[in-house]
Amino acid sequence: MKTYRIPHTDLDVSCLGYGCLKLGGSWDRAPLGRAERARAAHVIATALDQGITLFDHADIYTYGKSEAVFGEVLQQLPGVRDTIVLQSKCGIRFQDDPQPGDPPRYDFSSHHILHAVEGSLRRLHTSHLDVLLLHRPDPLVEPEEVAQAFTELQRSGKVRYFGVSNHTAAQIALLQRYLDQPLVINQVELNLLHAHLITDGIGANQAGVPHTAAGGTLDYCRVHDIMIQAWAPVAGGTLIDPPPGAEARVRTTAERVAEWANDKATSREAVVLAWLLRHPARIQPIVGTTTPDRLVASCLADRLELSREEWYALLVTARGASLP
């Protein structure tokens, strides 16, 4: 599989990453069962076999079970840890954590970041994370606290590189002003149906075209060499199998995707992911299926190159409106 160098690092990663969110099964505190263990082992083996080298986690995924089952599988695969890039996230806290009645919240305090990383290292059975991302912007962030935590984590060798997720350009700039380490990744929701990070700029000078607060974020990341990772790259399957009652633009896009997959003798997943890979920002889709066949189908994207004309044709279909 093609690789990208994560800017400001010595890490080369496959152009598709694997998202481990659903490996732990249900979102509850029930213990891991045999079925989750077997499914995780199968899909992780498939990912490795397909040449995927970046694995994305978060401390909260299925209440820690996703990291835990991944850690178990890793222990059964001696030598693999050193061949992969392990990434996790922190900063989201659940209701009742730690006291009953505590609200769901974000927490970028130094204490919480350090505590969360300890938990991830323990569950993943690893001495270090290659990359740590701050999961969602915390409006109460005190960047000095983040700086303190990052410096301590780097000094102790527990985290090599740092990044963010779901952050705007201004939020990244604020943090970066206080950090000694470069922010190397911004992981954002990005797919054909949720493409405003890519499309905001198109209508920037157009009356009546709505913009989002994220406008300029993609360009900012390119200017500052921050790698963009795309979460929900196939929109949770909506672009492959639209649910009943999906809007017309979704159905039409899925039809076009299916038609091209057929014409190009590839998979529908590959067409959808190739749309992200065609962007010159070198976007890394984080694929989240737990179905090995779908993962193999997704990896065909590595061999599919869309032309400028095809990229725009899909964009206009998915927008459901012509370009200005």
Binding site for ligand NAP (CB under 6 A): 19-22, 56, 165-166, 187, 231-237, 240-241, 269, 286-291, 294
CB of 319 to ligand NAP, least distance (A): 19
CB of 57 to ligand NAP, least distance (A): 7
119 C-beta neighbours (distance < 10 Å), count = 16
266 contact partners, CB below 8 Å, separation of at least 6: 300, 303, 304
Residue among 209 and 213 whose Cβ is closer to ligand NAP: 213
- Tell me how far CA of residue 152 lies from CA of 113, 125, 135, 160, in angstroms: 10, 20, 19, 11
Q: Which residue out of 4, 18, 61, 312 is catalytically annotated? A: 61
310 C-beta neighbours (distance < 10 Å), count = 18
Residue among 152 and 278 whose Cβ is closer to ligand NAP: 278
Structure tokens at 37: 């263990």
Residue among 47 and 306 whose Cβ is closer to ligand NAP: 47
Residue among 121 and 301 whose Cβ is closer to ligand NAP: 301
Residue among 133 and 152 whose Cβ is closer to ligand NAP: 133
Quick one: CA torsion of 208, 209, 213, 217, rounded to 10 degrees? -140
Supply the DSSP string of 238-307, one letter for each residue: TTTSPPTT--HHHHHHHHHHHHHHHHTTS-HHHHHHHHHHTSTTT-EEEE----HHHHHHHHGGGG----
* Annotated catalytic residue 61: yes
CB of 110 to ligand NAP, least distance (A): 21
Is residue 67 within 8 A of residue 88, CB to CB? The reply is yes
CB of 279 to ligand NAP, least distance (A): 16
CB of 101 to ligand NAP, least distance (A): 25
Active site residues: 61
